[in-house]
Chains A and B, each alone.
Chain A
Amino acid sequence: MTMDRRQALKTLGQACAGTATAAATVGTSGTAEAASGGPYPDASPGAVGMLFDTTRCIGCKACVVACSEANDLVPDTVLANGLWQMPMDLNARTANIIKLYKEEDEDAVGGEYSYVKRQCMHCVDPACVASCPFKALTKDPENGIVMWEASQCIGCRYCEVACPFEVPKFEWEDFNPRIVKCQLCSHRLPEGLEPACCEVCPTDAVIFGAREDLLKDAKSRIAAKPEVYYEQKVYGEREGGGTQVLYLSHVPFTAIGLPDLPDESIAWYGTWVHGIIYKWLLIPMIVYGVMAAIIRKRWHHHEEEAREQAKKTGLPQQI
């Protein structure tokens, strides 16, 4: 889908009108539920996702290679002088990465460690979608995949800031930059293929499926070996309103870089805060009122000075 100037202006107009309406709605109802799926959103029935299990990952990085091949991403060799594909984090050339957590104490022999695969979490209620002013980021209503559409993107990078998992990455070095993130290989799914990372994983550490099935699978794994899994919890079932990519871990989730999020939807929280700020447009009006009063006062002062000056010098007032 491409967008011309007329359409862009139309979208902007609609967005402005929408903001005004939302403000009015917020004003009347006092909640932000109209703008988001509420604090505890439900995943769509057809939601697909992935399940990653740290106890199964052997750190072979086959998924890293497969991902860049499947998504036509040029391997990031900047830090390795062209020797290896060696990204240090998700970036504009890396939509999927394997990282390593090691226990802080370096003297510990056989200390705890874990590999972790990081990519887009495909949130049930994504903050990036909520923050995007132009609908460049959209969530598929059926399978729930969060997609980025080039022609709609204005490059504001709000999504980068909004994402609690630090996933969307901006292509700084490119003249026509993109936002790069995992799109769950949505170009492969219609061909009956799994996401590339799930296809190549030799230990099924990451598997693809319907979110419901994955959740069941995860819970049965916990039930089979409750002592292995940290807090007997599936990360992503409820965190930040729930994600479609789920994690099982034998180490604390924060250790493998998954933030400790409340159960409330991040997107809902953001809209809720905005709801308070813009309630009846009260706070903006107060702020603007105070500013106007200050300017008005200063203006009077300035006029008086100018008049005095004119009297003294005989020259006309210069304001």
Chain B
Amino acid sequence: MALASIRPELDPSGTVGAHLERCGVDRRDFLGFCAKLMVAAPAGLAIAEKLTPEAVAAEVAKAQRLPVVWLHFQDCTGCSETLLRTSKPDLADLLFHLISLDYHETLMAASGHDAEAALHTSMKKNAGKYIAVVEGSIPQKGSGQAGYMKIAGHPAHDILEDVAANAAAVVAIGSCATWGGIPSSPPNPTQAVGVNHFVKDKPVINLPGCPPNPYVLLGVVLQYARTGTLPQLDEKGRPKFAYDRVIHDHCPRRAHFDAGRFADDFGDEGHRQGWCLYKLGCKGPDTHAPCSTMHFNEVIGAWPIGIGAPCFGCTEEHLAFRVPMFDKIPIHDVTPPDTYPPVTSAKGEVDPIATGLVGVGVGAIAGAGFVAARRFTNREAELDIDPSESLTSKEKDGRGDQS
């Protein structure tokens, strides 16, 4: 903690040795630490082959903070803004002790040619070692002089391809970098696409969200800085530790959903009572994101559903900026509600009196029919109408009509 409390000047060399020297750790302590490291280090680690603490110290002192290059394309800088609001570690700790943020258009002191120089120096020096973080979507349309987006005279996708070519891994932060985000919403005038469209040969970690929770980015970057590994990803390239469950499954309003208590309108009684927002268009049942368990700005309840706004599905390509914000969506993984069917299912019962009345009615009609038939036959017998005669009379009538 003593180390973290010190705020040294940004050192371009950025090695651990230089950093420790600045922080006042003397060489004796450092060698003692390295001796312990030799005992504890698992076989196979590069330092395990060194025989003296001095050799280990030389190796460790050369180690560098993880270089990170942060690119901005068609974005709103909201993802950077969300990173500024972290405290564990806070931004200063992150930048000065944990990573070396070599290029970031809004956070770096340099500008113009100096900024470009910083980018190219870092790319050359840390080739194959740095992490490229991409914020914003990349326009495909107009790559020439009339390009939609250029930095230092280079179109966006050229910059991305250059930077990604030497990167260890590419992190696409935000929905824009993941699949296009707002700029890609119909009619998509710039033909904006995500990082995946251009980077095929490098591991791409997608962190969709508008913005995503900054701790997901910190988790990914710090895991790589410490262990050199990348987290497990789902089929859409999102880290499973954050994106494997839907918001609905951990929503604080879930009990209201199960009990059938819904807000029907903004500001109505249900909305004031904090009931479920599904009917107002909440996309939580189909949105994979850690929002319901990890709120924003480190304020409990600071996330859309927490303040009474329905989730709009910012992490999902098929929902955000595609499905209208207040439209209901179908639920795929349905579960039983908080209500129960009665033991005896509702079935129509026939009243005996009704049965009797219907019987009497049917009987009366049948009887009337029978009587009518009898009368008709009797009348026929009385008149002594012969079927053949009646036929001939009819034929006569027919002729009469014709004439």
Contacts and interface: CB of A to CB of B under 8 A. Distances in A.
Contact of B337 (A83, A256, A315): A83
Contact of B341 (A65, A77, A89, A315): A89
A80 B339 CA distance: 11
B337 A59 contact: no
Nearest to A166: B345
A304 B341 CA distance: 66
A120 interface: no
B343 A255 contact: yes
B337 A80 contact: yes
Given A84-B334, A84-B335, A312-B386, A89 B345 contact: yes
A313 interface: yes
A117 B84 CA distance: 53
Interface string B274-316: 0000100000000000000000000000000000000000000
Interface string B77-89: 0000000000000
Given A88-B345, A312-B386, A313-B388, A83 B340 contact: no
Contacts, number: 61
A162 interface: no
A77 B344 contact: no
Contacts of A247: none
B342 interface: yes
A233 interface: no
Interface string A76-120: 010010111111110000000111111000000000000110000
B336 interface: yes
B275 to A, nearest CB: 14
A85 B336 CA distance: 5
A245 to B, nearest CB: 16
Interface in B239-282: 258, 278
B334 A75 contact: yes
B135 to A, nearest CB: 37
Tier of interface size on chain A: 20 to 34
A116 B345 CA distance: 13
A282 to B, nearest CB: 31
Interface string A207-221: 000000000000000
B247 to A, nearest CB: 16
Contact of A83 (B334, B344, B386): B334
A82 B334 CA distance: 8
A23 interface: no
A177 B343 CA distance: 26
A61 B335 CA distance: 9
Nearest to A114: B343
Which of B278, B341, B345, B386 has the most C-beta atoms of chain A within 10 angstroms of its own C-beta? Answer: B341
A315 B392 CA distance: 14
A121 interface: no
Contacts of A61: 335-336
Nearest to A251: B343
Nearest to A60: B336
Given A82-B330, A313-B388, A101 B336 contact: no
Contact of B336 (A64, A115, A256): A64
A257 interface: yes
B335 A65 contact: yes
Given A86-B339, A313-B386, A313-B388, A257 B334 contact: no
B331 interface: yes
B343 A256 contact: yes
B1 interface: no
Interface string A296-316: 000000000000010011010
Contacts of B342: 99-102
Contacts of A257: 343-344
B334 A85 contact: yes
A184 to B, nearest CB: 21
A82 B340 CA distance: 16
A204 B337 CA distance: 21
B336 A99 contact: no
Given A256-B343, A257-B343, A84 B337 contact: yes
Given A61-B336, A64-B336, A88-B346, A82 B331 contact: yes
B331 A83 contact: yes
A83 B259 CA distance: 11
B346 A116 contact: no
A230 to B, nearest CB: 14
Contacts of A80: 334, 337
Contacts of A99: 340-343
A76 to B, nearest CB: 9
A100 B337 CA distance: 13
B343 A100 contact: yes
A118 to B, nearest CB: 8
B335 A100 contact: no
A93 to B, nearest CB: 11
Contacts of B335: 61, 65, 84-85
B341 A100 contact: yes
Interface in A143-162: none
Given A88-B345, A88-B346, A313-B386, A115 B340 contact: yes
Contacts of B331: 77, 82-83
Nearest to B330: A82
Contacts of B278: 83
A66 to B, nearest CB: 11
Interface of B: 258, 278, 330-331, 334-337, 339-346, 386-388
